Amino acid sequence: MAKLVFGMNQSLDGYVDHLAFGPSPTLFRHFIEQAQGQAGSVYGRRMYEVMRYWDDDHPGWDAGEQAFAAAWRNQPKWVVSRSLKAVGPNAELVAEDLEGAIREIKTERDGEIEIAGPDLAHSLTKLGLIDEYRIYLHPVVLGHGKPYFAGPRPPLRLIANDRIDENVIRLTYVPA
């Protein structure tokens, strides 16, 4: 049975914003290794549209960017959306019965499946389907934006903290 993991970069004041701060080379290597080892990813529409960047090769990419793109392209993706009519390569649209679809994915797979996007994570949290939360805490204060927790923070228990690079700590929580 797969483990559903919601992990994102977060500012000190609780916001996620891929344009406001990005990963260092060390953290990016960490994310490449994570992507290479994942059994798949589940995206909300907005996060999927951001990640579609990795579907196309871009001139000037370095080896790390090429490795991340290859890992992302190779893994199965499920996109939760009622507005999209089609999705890209190696992706499947989930438009109905979110709970049933995610439970089926979870039982049919082994390994870690990434949950991407705060709104989707909020919906799956309410259904009790997320097994682990990973906060990559950056020393940045944004003051506004999209919060990591799109709704009330669920009761959580800290199980690990790891320094990923000189500025980022990964906090790992499970439902309490």
Fold adopted by 2-175: Dihydrofolate Reductase, subunit A (3.40.430)
pLDDT on residue 2: 97
* DSSP code string of 84-109: -S---TTEEEE-S-HHHHHHHHHHH-
* DSSP code string of 47-76: HHHHHGGGGS--TT--HHHHHHHHHHHHS-
- Per-residue pLDDT of 103-154, as tens digits, reads 999 999 999 999 999 999 999 999 999 999 999 999 999 999 999 999 999 9
Mean pLDDT of the chain: 95
pLDDT on residue 18: 81
* DSSP code string of 119-160: HHHHHHHHTT---EEEEEE-S---SSSEESSSSSPPPEEEEE
pLDDT on residue 153: 92
Ranges under pLDDT 50 in the chain: none
Could you tell me if 146 and 118 are in contact, meaning their C-beta atoms sit under 8 angstroms apart?
Answer: yes
pLDDT on residue 20: 86
> Who contacts 97 (Cβ-Cβ below 8 Å, separation ≥6)?
none
Record the tokens describing residue 146, joined without a space.
């999209």
pTM over 0.85: yes
What's the CA gap between 114 and 101, in Å, rounded? 15
pLDDT on residue 16: 94
